[in-house]
Amino acid sequence: MSNDMNAIQSQKPVVYIGSQDLAQISSLLPSNKKRSMVVHSLVSALGLMNSNLNASARRRLQVVTQIKASYKDLAVYHTRDYLDVVLDSSAAVDGEDRLENGSTVNAEFGLEDDCPRFAGLAEYIQMVGGATLTAARALQNNLTDIAICWDGGRHHARKSQASGFCYVADCILAILALKRPTHPSPNPNSLNSMPPTAHKPRIMYLDLDLHFSDAVSEAFYSPTPSSASQVLTLSIHHSSPGFFPASERAKIPDISAPDCDPFTLSLPLKLGASNATYARIWRVVEKVKNTFRPDFIVMQCGVDALAGDPCATFNWSLGEAEGSMGWCVQKVVTEWSGKKLLLGGGGYNSPNAARAWAYLTSITLNNPMSLETEIPDHAGFPLYGPSFTLDVPAGNMFDHNSEEYLASLETCFDNVITELQKRLNF
């Protein structure tokens, strides 16, 4: 057997969290009905779930069934008051019970407007929260160095409120799990009787969703100057007056401001952001990563920034061009050190979400599919017209991200990097 094949077989599989139960319950999400079924069925139809290693493959995919999150698992972040309401499967969907302050239960916990209660909500929260935690534990237990949970990535869910189509803070729960200290095994041959020092891993959260990762960023935001943080959040998103979500943290970081936290970072982009724009700002992303040196990268891969999404805000394409979504993800997966957790997120054109996440799955296997790949015949086939291929091409809106604006971002982040270096070397 060749050395190349030995190397291939010695690689750990990519862990992919999925099951029929998870796809069915995730497909009840009011903002993305049936999307999960569409996504997983395409990944399967393209043969990516085939566990047999063949000569052209670099890695294999291991499908792992999620372990449902317990009340205790969820209470690591969420408040008990919130969990008692959302996990009460007997509660009426209208939730018009009133609290002592006169507000309804739904209003108090964000269960209205874009986050209505729905039949199966309690099961959904436990399944999706558990799916992302199952992926994180696979990384912690050294079963893999890449784990995928496309049903996760709910980055707007807060400690005691649902928000922005998100009911469970799975991103935050995963980060909290990954930041727990690890204890190296003692060396039996060492004369040193002292136990090894526990390692506090660093986690970089990188959010590619069109919308700012408000709940995640704010959960780890600390305005008090201090030494190094274990968690750094970096959100690349659109921000403009009236665009969801409204947050002070969504702006360009001003390191001179007293409330600036260099570990809570934003890269806001203007309308029409293109592959060229992403290629330009990726230098900033690389500098932040190289300075922070994470042990784990949690990447939220929301696809509502792709052209063709109903949000109709950016021109971003799926790949293979420099600066495309696939190009960015491939950089992280193949060139960055550290273990990676890939999560889903926004994306309101379900066939395009399936195209994107199937393509990104193939990237994690070190065997990117051609974007000209024809969609195979399966139950969801009619959804992929008129092209019936894997590609999500770039849009043609005007890109408002001028050279002057992008240069100002780079200058701002040069100052951020300097402050990060100070904190990390404290």
What amino acid positions are annotated as catalytic residues? 156
CA angle 416, 412, 251 (to 5 degrees): 95
Helices 325-335 and 350-364, interaxial angle, to 10°?
30
Rg (CA), the chain: 21
- What would the two tokens of residue 377 be? 């015949």
Residues 6+ apart with CB under 8 A from 200: 179, 181, 230
Residue type, 188: P
Give the count of alpha carbons within 13 A of 107, CB side only. 9
For tokens 């959040």, what's the residue? 233
- What would the two tokens of residue 32 be? 């993305």
For tokens 């959904």, what's the residue? 124
Give the count of alpha carbons within 13 A of 296, CB side only. 33
Q: Which helix (H) or strand (E) holds 204?
A: strand 203-207
* Residues 152 and 132 sit within 8 Å (Cβ to Cβ): yes
- Report d(CA 419, CA 416) in Å as an integer: 5
CA angle 344, 165, 81 (to 5 degrees): 110
Find the largest Cα–Cα distance for the chain: 72
- The torsion angles phi and psi of 248, rounded to 5 degrees, stand at -60, -30
Sheet of 264-269: strands edge to edge? 61-64, 14-17, 146-149, 339-343, 296-300, 203-207, 231-238, 264-269
For tokens 């960015």, what's the residue? 328
Residue type, 153: G
- Report d(CA 272, CA 305) in Å as an integer: 10
- Report d(CA 261, CA 419) in Å as an integer: 9
- Report d(CA 280, CA 248) in Å as an integer: 24
Chain centre to alpha carbon of residue 72: 23
